[in-house]
Each structure stands twice: as C-alpha cells, then as structure tokens.
Amino acid sequence: MSSDDIDVDDFDNADHDLEKFESTDDNLEKFEKIFAKKRKVLDDGFDSNKVENQVLDKSTMFTLYEMINAKVISYVNGIVKAGKESVLFWAVGPDGQDIALKVYLVSTVSFKKRAAYIVGDPRFTRLKHGTRNMVYLWAKKEYRNLRQCARHNIPVPKPIYVSNNVLALEFIGKNGIPASTLHETEIEESDYTQAIEIMTKLYRNARLVHGDFSEYNVFKTGSGLLLFDLGSAVDTTHPNAQNFLERDIKNMTYFFAKRGLTVKNPKDILTEITS
C-alpha cells in the first residue's frame, strides 16, 4: 500500500466530532467567521444565507472553519449551485483567488448507487460501512481522481484540498459564475475532437474511466474543454470500467450527433481508445 492509498479507518472519529460540536456562543462566533458577506443576496436574488443554513450541518460548518484555520480559504461568498447530492460554494483563498467548494451532502447520498463506483477499484480496498464514511470517501475519491488527471496533463480544475465531505478546487469561471458547460454552449467540430482526446488520455495516461462523461460535466472555456465532476471515475481495472467507458462514449456521441456533427461509430472510438 503506498502512502497515497486511502485508509478509510481515518474517518473513525467523524461522528464523534459532530457530537462534540455544540452550538455554544463560541461556536456560533466561529460559524459567523465562515460567511464573511453573510447577508449578501446573489445576483439572481437568492438569499444565500438562508440556503446555507438549510444545507450545512454543524459538522460541515466545522470542516469549513478548519479550512479557514488551515489557510485553504479565507471566507465563503455564497452558494453557486445547489444539487441533490452536492452544493457548490464560491469561496475566496488567502491570496484573493476564487475557489470552488464542493460540499457533499451526507443526508441525501444514495449509498447503493455510489458503491458501484467504488467496490472493485483496486485503490479503495478497506471500505467501512456507513453513509457518512461513504460520503467522505467519495470526496477523497474525487480529489484523487482530479490529482491523477492533473498529473497527466488532462484538463481538469486543479484540486486544492479535501477534508471530510468538502472538496476545494480551482474555480472555473468569473465572479462566482461558473464557465459554461458543453450543454450550455454552441458546439464546434473541435469540441468533439477534444472530447475524444480527453477521454483517450484519461484512459491511456491516467488509467481512469470517467463514468459520467456528458455535456453537463465538461466546461468549455476560452482555452479549451475542461473535464470535471470526477467522483464517479474508476480505475481501468475496475470490473465495470469497460461498461462505463462504452456508456461514456455513447453519451458523448449522441450529444454531438444531436448537435448536428458527423460522428464516428462508438464501437470504433472504443477500439481506438483501448487498443
């Protein structure tokens, strides 16, 4: 086992922390430090403070507070997007740089759905049961996948830090507004070429299969496409890796065909990537 391997036993104290963290005056003061612009109403009229209070449990607030102490972030500006299983926050780092915080929600996670993307991956062998542990592991998995990609020059948001259910990444976009995804933009021939190139490098160099490669999980920026949402990515030796790859290729092909491009046969792309 290399030092890179995740020992899920590290998470033994998670629930203990939650119990320890009571809403004393001292703790409330800590929470207030997190949201520096507490009453800020976002451009779309969203009162972020209200949502923050609804989505963040105390344990997550504590994790954010610790990230401030560790100088990963200075403060959180507010919510960018709230999904079913994760919420994306716009935070600011000590040097004023924008940081994306992906907060995985412990309460809504679908344990069974996630297990299929973990069990069988040789990188994650010592699994502990429990929803909270699974969520923490998922966040670590996304962090590791991103690091593996960055190491092989695959365009992804730079991973910065992970702690419990909070993942800090380079913010892709401007002023708290994320860059457009492929789904939200006009498409050119070169997008298709790039998408296949990214998928190929992911498989051959990083030895990963995304597992949820779609127009919703690819940013289109001025400097090209950027792949994100890598929590589902598995090692190429995972028992379902080939099925996931086939599905990823089919989804992408279908999307580009729908947008009017001439596309290759998915089977041929699969052969090209894996041979």
Ligand X SMILES: Nc1ncnc2c1ncn2[C@@H]1O[C@H](COP(=O)(O)OP(=O)(O)OP(=O)(O)O)[C@@H](O)[C@H]1O
Q: Which residues are catalytic?
A: 212, 229
Smallest distance, Mg ion to C-beta of residue 75, A: 25
Q: Does 229 bind Mg ion (CB under 5 A)?
A: yes
What is the rounded distance in angstroms from the CA atom of residue 52 to the CA atom of residue 244?
34
Q: Which helix (H) or strand (E) holds 235?
A: strand 234-235
Q: Are 124 and 151 in contact (CB under 8 A)?
A: no
What is the rounded distance in angstroms from the CA atom of residue 28 to the CA atom of residue 7?
32
Q: Which is nearer to ligand X, 192 or 228 (CB)?
A: 228
Q: Are 108 and 220 in contact (CB under 8 A)?
A: no
Q: Which residue number has the CB closest to ligand X? A: 178
Structure-token pair, residue 262: 């001439």
- Give the one entry of Mg ion, ligand X, none that residue 228 binds, where binding means its C-beta sits below a cut-off of 5 to 8 angstroms depending on kind: ligand X
Phi first, then psi: what are they for 41, rounded to 5°?
Answer: -100, 125
What is the rounded distance in angstroms from the CA atom of residue 151 to the CA atom of residue 155?
10
State the residues that interact with ligand X by CB under 6 A. 80-81, 83, 85-86, 88, 100, 102, 157, 169-173, 178, 181, 216-217, 228-229
Q: Which is nearer to ligand X, 81 or 151 (CB)?
A: 81
Smallest distance, Mg ion to C-beta of residue 58, A: 26
Q: Which is nearer to Mg ion, 77 or 217 (CB)?
A: 217
- Give the one entry of Mg ion, ligand X, none that residue 79 binds, where binding means its C-beta sits below a cut-off of 5 to 8 angstroms depending on kind: none
Q: Which is nearer to ligand X, 30 or 220 (CB)?
A: 220
Structure-token pair, residue 41: 């109403």
Q: Which is nearer to ligand X, 125 or 221 (CB)?
A: 221
Structure-token pair, residue 198: 């990214």
CA distances from 88 to 12, 46, 95, 182, 205 (A): 26, 14, 20, 19, 29
Smallest distance, Mg ion to C-beta of residue 86, A: 8
What is the rounded distance in angstroms from the CA atom of residue 225 to the CA atom of residue 268?
22
Smallest distance, ligand X to C-beta of residue 51, A: 14
Give the range of 19-27, 67-75, 215-223, 256-264 binding Mg ion by CB under 5 A. Answer: 215-223
Q: Does 191 bind Mg ion (CB under 5 A)?
A: no
Smallest distance, ligand X to C-beta of residue 237, A: 24
- Give the one entry of Mg ion, ligand X, none that residue 266 binds, where binding means its C-beta sits below a cut-off of 5 to 8 angstroms depending on kind: none
What is the rounded distance in angstroms from the CA atom of residue 77 to the CA atom of residue 50?
13
Name the site residues for Mg ion (rule: CB under 5 A): 217, 229
